Amino acid sequence: MSVALGTTRPLPVRTTPVGDPGDLLASLPRTAPYAWVRNGEGLVGWGQAARVAVPPGPGRFAWAREWLATVLGDAHADDAVGTPGAGPVAFGSFTFDEDAAGSVLVVPKAVLARRDGRAWLTTIGEAPLESFSPVRDPGRISYGDGSLSAPEWEHVVARAARRIREGELEKVVLARDLVATAERPIDVRLLLARLARRYPECYTFSVAGLVGATPELLIRRTGQEIESLVLAGTTPRGTGPADDIARGAALLASTKDRYEHECAIASVRQTLAPLCSSLETPDEPELLALPNVQHLASHVTGRLADGASVLDVVAAMHPTAAVGGTPTPTAIKVIRELEGMDRAGYAGPVGWIDANGDGEWGIALRSGLVQGRRARLFAGCGIMGDSDPAAELTEAQAKFRVMQYALEG
C-alpha cells in the first residue's frame, strides 16, 4: 500500500504484526511524541509524515476531513492485522472555540499500537531514526496565576450563577488556568508515564504539546458502531473509605449534579439521534471513581445510519453540554464574555482517526499545554444557578492536581 502525503509521489506504508511491545509509552523518543493510551492499550507515534494547521471557523471539521481524504486517499491497510488503527493514522487536537486558531492534525511516520491482544507497527516511508534519550525530571515546579486569580475567578462564577438564576441559561461550564514553570525543560514522556500509571482508566494523550489524561470519551467509532462516555457532576474523593462512600452517595442524590448530568445526556442524545439507526442511553448514571474525584457517568451506545466517519460525529457533538453548557449556543456566548481566557485545546476534541474513518476521540480535560519549561494547566466546573463560588474553586483545584502530579511526581 502507498499513500500520497502531500508529496510528488506516494510514500510506501507498511503495517506489520509485532510481538508484545510492553509499555507503549516507553517506546517514545523525546521529540514530538504522540499518544493515546488507556489501560496499557492504544497507539503511540513519532516522526512527522504530514502535518496541517486546521483553519478556524464553523467548517473546520469538514475541512479536516477533506484534508485527510487528500492525504490518506483511499488507502486500505495491506497487512495481516485488519483492525481499527492499522495503516496510516492521524492524531488530532481541535481548539474548544471554533473561532480560535490552534487546531492541528498530524500523521506520524511511525505508529506502534496494541489492542485486544494484538500489536503492530506502521511506518510511512523509511523508518524514522529517532534519538531515544533518557527521560529527565523537570526539577522544581513553581506555580503562578493564569488569566485570572482565584478571587477573580470566583467573582466570574458568581456572575454566571446570577445570569442562570435570571433565566438566561440553565448551565455554563467555566474553566480557569494555572501556569507552571519548571527548572528544566519539561519532558512530555515523563508526564505521560506518570499519568498512565496513576490514571490507567483515563485516556492518556499527547498531541502537539497538549498533554493530559481525560476520563471522558467523546466518541469511539468501530465500523458502524459508536460509543460515548458522558461525565457531568463531580465531587472530590473522601478522606477515607467511609467518607468516600458518603461523598459518592451524596453525589448520586444531588439535585444540582443530577440535573447537570441530565443536561449533558440530553445534549448527546439530541446530537447523535439524527446520525444513528439505533441509540441507547441509560436511565440512571453510575459513579466513576478516579484517584482524585468521583463523577456521575453514563455510557451511550449506538449504530451509525449513514457511514459517517468518526470526525463527522465529533463535528456534530462538539461542544457538548458537559464542557459548554445548556443551551450550548448561549453558554458559549457567556463563556466568551466572562471566562477571560483562550482555552486553546482544553475541553476540545483530541484523539486519532485512521484511513477507514474509525477512531477514538476524547474531550481534552485534565490537561496542560507544554512548551519548554512552561506548562499551562486547565480545569473547569459546571456552574448552575445555586453554585457556590468557593466550592467550585475547590473542585477546580482538585482537577488541577492531575497535571500537578504529572509534573511533580
Tens digits of per-residue pLDDT, 132-148? 788 999 999 999 999 99
Between 258-272, 326-340, 373-387, the lowest mean confidence (pLDDT) is in: 258-272
Task: Dump pLDDT digits (tens) for 26-40.
Answer: 989 887 799 999 999
Nearest to 311 by CA among 340, 351, 282, 277: 351
Q: In the 8-state DSSP scheme, what is residue 339?
A: S
Q: Which three cell numbers stand for residue 397?
A: 483545584
Read off the pLDDT band of 72 (50, 70, 90): confident
- What is the C-alpha to C-alpha distance for residues 205 and 35, in angstroms, rounded to an integer? 5
- DSSP state for residue 18 in the 8-state scheme: -
What 3-state DSSP class applies to 211?
strand
State phi, psi for 226 to the nearest 5 degrees: -130, 155
The pLDDT of residue 81 is 75
Report CA-CA distances (Å) from 334 to 174, 326, 389.
9, 11, 17
pLDDT tens profile 352-373: 999 989 999 999 999 999 999 9
Active site residue ranges = 171, 216
CB 321 within 8 A of CB 232: yes
Residue 8 has pLDDT above 50, yes or no: no
Specify whether the CB–CB gap between 4 and 10 falls below 8 A.
yes
Question: What does the alpha-carbon distance between residue 304 and residue 315 come to, in Å, rounded to a whole number?
Answer: 14
